[in-house]
C-alpha cells in the first residue's frame, strides 16, 4: 500500500515563521542589552588608560571617538583625533597620541578611523562550508580565503555528523540551499527539509552565523514541493547575517525579490578562470580536433544542458543567421527528455549544428573555447554565470541576455547583450552582430583578469572581521 504524501500546510508554515520572528526579536533585545553594558565598561577602561598614559603631556590632547552599531550587526569602530600644534610633520606629542590609543586598545594598527579586526582573538575565524569543494567555483574561492587566515571546514549534511562537529564554528556558509532538501520523491524531500531545519536550529543554538552566497534567486530546477523553495529563502533571509552577491545588477535583482536584505548584502566578484584551465592549444589544432575548418565562424555553447539555458531558442536564432556559420553545443544532459527534444530540433534544422553530449573534462575545455569565435549563453533566467566568465577568460566574446550579472560582465568590446523578452529575433541580431564585429582577444582577457578571487576573499574576510567585536580586555 502506498501512503499518500503529506500536504504542505501554509497555515503551519506561517505560524513557524511568526515564532521565529518572536525568537529573533527577543534575542536581539537581550544581545543589545548585554553588548551595551559591555561596551560602556570598555569605554570607561579605555578612558582611564588614555588619561594615565597621557599624564605629563599638557601640550597634547588626544581624544577617542567611539561608534557602536548594534543594529547593523555587532560591529564596533573606534576613531581618534589628536589636536596638532602645527601644520608640519607629526611631532613627539602626536606620535605619543598614536601610542596611547594603541596601548589603550591593545592593537598596533592605529589610523584616523581604524576598524577593530579579528587579530586579537584566541583563534582564527572559522567557516563551515556547504559545500567546500566539488566544482571550480568552490576550488577557486576558498583557498584565498584560507590564505587570509580563515579556517574553512567541509560540512557534511548528516544529523549525527552535525551534532558531533558543528562546534566552535563562527559562520555557516551556504551556496545552493536546494541541494539540502531537493529530491524527486516528496517524502524524501520533506525528510531532508526537516533535517535542514534541524541544521539551521543547531547552528543558531551553537552560535554559528549564516552566510549565503546567492548564486540564483530560486533553484533552476524547482522542488517537487515548490513551496519549500520559497519557505527556505524566507528562512535564510530572516536568519542570515551576510549575503554575498556577484555584482551590482544582480544585487538589484536580489533586493527587488528580497527587500529585507537591505544592509546585509556584500558585493564580491565571481573570479576569472585564467590559469585554472589549460590554454595552450593553437586555434587550428583545436578546430581540427572538432572537424572544423579555419574559415568557418563558430558559435559555442558549453556547460550543463538544462532547460533554463534555452538551447531550443539558441537553435531557432541560429537557423536565421546568414552565411554558413557552425554551432557547437557541448555539455552533459541531466534530463533524457530534454536531450531528445534538442536532438529532434537539430534533426529538423538544415543548419550545421554539432552536439557533443557528455561531461567536458577539465583538460578538454580549451579544445572548444580555442576553436570557437564566440560563446552564446542564451539563458531564460540567470543571476550569476560562470560560463560567461569562462568564455572571457579565454578571450572569447559572449552573446548574452541583459539580465543578472551579465549586464555588468559584458562590457564594450567583450560581446553583445540582447533583450531576452524579444527572442529569438534579439538573440539572432546579437549573433549576427558578433559575426560582423572584430574582437581583441587580449582586451577581453584583460577585462576578465579584473575579476579577482583574491579581492573577493579580502572583501569577505574584512566583513567577517568587522562583525566579530574583538575588544582586548586588560586587567
Query: Residues 187-223: pLDDT tens digits?
Result: 999 999 999 999 999 998 999 999 999 999 999 989 9
Count of CB atoms within 10 A of residue 69's CB? Answer: 11
Cell digits of residue 82: 589628536
Longest alpha-carbon distance in the chain: 92
DSSP of 198-228, one letter per residue? HHHHHHHHTT-EEEEE-S-SS-SS--SSHHH
Query: What pLDDT is stored for residue 296 in this prediction?
Result: 96
Mean pLDDT of 162-169: 90
What is the average pLDDT score of the chain? 81
Query: Which residue did the predictor score with more confidence, 22 or 57?
Result: 22
Per the model's pLDDT, the better-predicted residue between 44 and 319 turns out to be 319
Q: How far apart are CA 353 and CA 315, in angstroms?
A: 8
Q: Which of 412, 379, 262, 220 is nearest to 309 (CA)?
A: 379
pLDDT value of residue 54: 47
Neighbours of 177 (CB within 10 A): 22
Buried b (16+ CB within 10 A) or exposed e, 130-157: bbbeeeebbebbbebbeebebebeebee
Instruction: Kindly tell me if the per-residue pLDDT of 113 is higher than 80.
Output: no
Find the mean pLDDT for residues 325-335.
96
pLDDT, tens digit, 9 for 90 and up, residues 225-244 = 999 999 999 999 999 999 99
A 10 A CB-CB count for 34 gives 10
Mean pLDDT of 375-385: 96
* 256-305 confidence digits (pLDDT tens): 999 999 999 999 999 999 999 999 999 999 999 999 999 999 999 999 99
Q: Taking 90 as the threshold, does the pLDDT of residue 108 lie above it? A: no
Query: CA 234, CA 127: separation in Å to the nearest integer?
Result: 22
Q: Is the pLDDT of residue 64 over 50?
A: no
Kindly state the average pLDDT of the residues 348-360.
94
Looking at residue 7, its pLDDT comes to: 52
pLDDT at 427 over 70: yes
- Provide the pairing of β-strand 240-246 with 265-268: parallel
What is the model's pLDDT at position 124? 87
Alpha carbon distances (Å) from 347 to 315, 343, 350, 351, 374: 11, 6, 8, 9, 23
Mean pLDDT, range 304-318, rounded to an integer: 96
Cα atoms in the 13 Å half-sphere on the side-chain side of 88: 4
Percent of the chain exceeding pLDDT 70 equals 72
Position 459 pLDDT exceeds 60: yes
State residue 381's pLDDT score. 93
For 260, the 3-state DSSP assignment is: helix
**Cα-Cα-Cα-Cα dihedral of 78, 84, 90, 96, to 10°?**
-60
Peptide bond into 350 cis (omega under 30): no
Q: Beta strands 126-130 and 151-154: pairing type?
A: parallel
Pick the range with the lowest mean pLDDT from 31-35, 65-69, 286-290.
65-69
Q: Full-prediction pTM beyond 0.85?
A: no
- Check whether 73 has a pLDDT greater than 80: no
Distance CA 1, CA 185 (A): 16
Count of Cβ atoms closer than 10 Å to residue 120 Cβ: 14
Please tell me the predicted confidence (pLDDT) of residue 10.
65
Domain map of the chain by residue range?
A: 30-83+91-116, 124-271+455-466, 283-451
Structural fold of domain 124-271+455-466: Rossmann fold (3.40.50)
Residue 69, C-alpha cell as written in the block: 552599531
Interatomic CA distance for residues 109 and 122, integer angstroms: 18
Grid coordinates representing 267? 558585493
Give the pLDDT mean for 138-142: 96
In CATH terms, the superfamily for domain 283-451 is: Glycogen Phosphorylase B; (3.40.50.2000)
Using a CB cutoff of 8 Å and minimum separation of 24, what contacts does 65-69 make? 66/39, 68/35, 68/36, 68/39
pLDDT at 117 over 60: no
Per-residue pLDDT, 14: 65
Return the pLDDT at 467. Answer: 73
Q: What is the pLDDT at residue 271?
A: 97
Q: H-type helices in 267-373, by residue range?
A: 283-290, 311-319, 336-348, 365-371
pLDDT of amino acid 152:
96
- Other CB atoms closer than 10 Å to residue 113's CB: what's the count? 11
> For the residues of 59-99, what is the DSSP string, one character each?
T--EEEEEEEESTTTSEEEEEEEE--SSSSS--HHHHHHHH
β-bridge partners, 13: none
CB 434 within 8 A of CB 416: yes
Q: Which three cell numbers stand for residue 375?
A: 560563446
- The residue behind cell 552566510 is 211
What contacts 79, CB < 8 A, 6 or more positions away? 64, 65, 66, 67, 112, 113, 114
pLDDT at 287: 97
User: What's the confidence (pLDDT) of residue 1?
Assistant: 44
Return d(Cα 439, Cα 415) in angstroms, integer.
8
pLDDT band at 122 (very low <50, low <70, confident <90, very high): low
Amino acid at each position: 500500500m502506498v501512503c499518500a504524501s503529506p500536504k504542505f500546510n501554509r497555515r503551519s508554515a506561517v505560524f513557524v515563521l511568526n515564532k521565529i520572528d518572536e525568537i529573533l526579536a527577543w534575542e536581539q533585545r537581550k544581545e543589545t542589552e548585554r553588548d551595551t553594558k559591555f561596551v560602556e565598561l570598555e569605554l570607561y577602561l579605555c578612558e582611564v588608560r588614555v588619561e594615565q598614559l597621557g599624564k605629563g603631556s599638557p601640550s597634547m590632547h588626544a581624544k577617542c571617538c567611539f561608534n557602536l552599531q548594534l543594529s547593523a550587526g555587532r560591529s564596533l569602530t573606534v576613531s581618534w583625533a589628536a589636536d596638532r600644534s602645527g601644520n608640519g610633520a607629526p611631532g613627539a606629542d602626536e606620535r605619543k597620541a598614536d601610542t596611547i590609543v594603541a596601548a589603550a586598545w591593545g592593537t598596533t594598527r592605529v589610523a584616523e578611523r581604524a576598524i577593530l579586526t579579528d587579530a586579537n582573538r584566541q583563534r582564527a575565524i572559522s567557516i563551515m562550508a556547504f559545500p567546500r569543494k566539488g566544482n571550480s567555483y568552490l576550488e577557486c574561492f576558498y583557498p584565498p580565503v584560507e590564505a587570509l587566515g580563515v579556517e574553512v571546514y567541509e560540512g557534511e549534511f548528516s544529523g549525527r555528523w552535525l551534532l558531533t562537529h558543528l562546534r566552535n564554528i563562527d559562520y555557516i556558509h551556504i551556496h545552493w540551499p536546494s541541494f539540502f532538501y531537493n529530491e524527486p520523491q516528496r517524502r524524501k524531500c520533506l525528510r531532508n527539509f526537516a533535517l535542514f531545519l534541524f541544521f539551521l536550529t543547531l547552528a543558531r543554538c551553537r552560535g554559528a552565523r549564516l552566510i549565503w552566497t546567492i548564486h540564483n534567486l530560486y533553484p533552476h530546477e524547482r522542488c517537487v514541493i515548490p513551496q519549500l523553495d520559497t519557505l527556505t529563502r524566507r528562512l535564510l533571509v530572516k536568519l542570515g547575517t551576510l549575503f554575498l552577491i556577484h555584482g551590482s545588477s544582480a544585487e538589484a535583482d536580489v533586493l527587488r525579490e528580497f527587500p529585507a536584505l537591505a544592509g546585509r548584502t556584500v558585493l564580491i566578484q565571481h573570479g576569472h578562470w585564467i590559469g585554472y584551465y589549460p590554454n595552450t592549444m593553437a586555434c587550428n589544432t583545436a578546430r581540427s580536433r572538432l572537424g572544423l575548418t579555419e574559415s568557418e565562424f563558430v558559435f559555442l555553447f558549453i556547460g550543463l544542458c538544462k532547460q533554463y539555458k534555452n538551447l531550443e531558442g539558441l537553435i531557432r536564432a541560429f537557423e536565421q543567421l546568414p552565411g554558413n556559420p557552425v554551432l557547437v553545443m557541448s555539455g552533459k544532459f541531466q534530463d533524457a527528455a530534454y536531450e531528445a527534444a534538442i536532438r529532434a530540433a537539430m534533426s529538423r534544422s538544415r543548419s550545421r549544428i554539432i552536439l557533443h553530449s557528455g561531461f567536458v573534462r577539465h583538460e578538454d575545455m580549451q579544445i572548444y573555447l580555442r576553436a570557437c569565435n564566440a560563446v552564446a549563453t542564451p539563458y531564460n533566467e540567470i543571476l550569476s554565470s560562470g560560463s560567461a566568465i569562462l568564455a572571457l577568460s579565454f578571450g572569447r566574446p559572449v552573446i548574452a541576455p541583459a539580465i543578472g550579472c551579465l549586464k555588468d560582465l559584458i562590457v564594450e568590446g567583450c560581446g553583445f547583450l540582447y533583450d531576452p523578452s524579444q527572442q529569438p529575433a534579439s538573440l539572432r541580431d546579437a549573433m549576427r552582430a558578433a559575426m560582423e564585429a572584430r574582437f581583441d582577444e587580449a582586451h577581453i582577457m584583460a577585462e576578465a583578469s579584473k575579476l579577482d578571487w583574491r579581492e573577493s576573499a579580502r572583501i569577505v574576510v574584512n566583513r567577517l572581521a568587522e562583525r566579530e567585536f574583538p575588544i582586548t580586555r586588560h586587567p
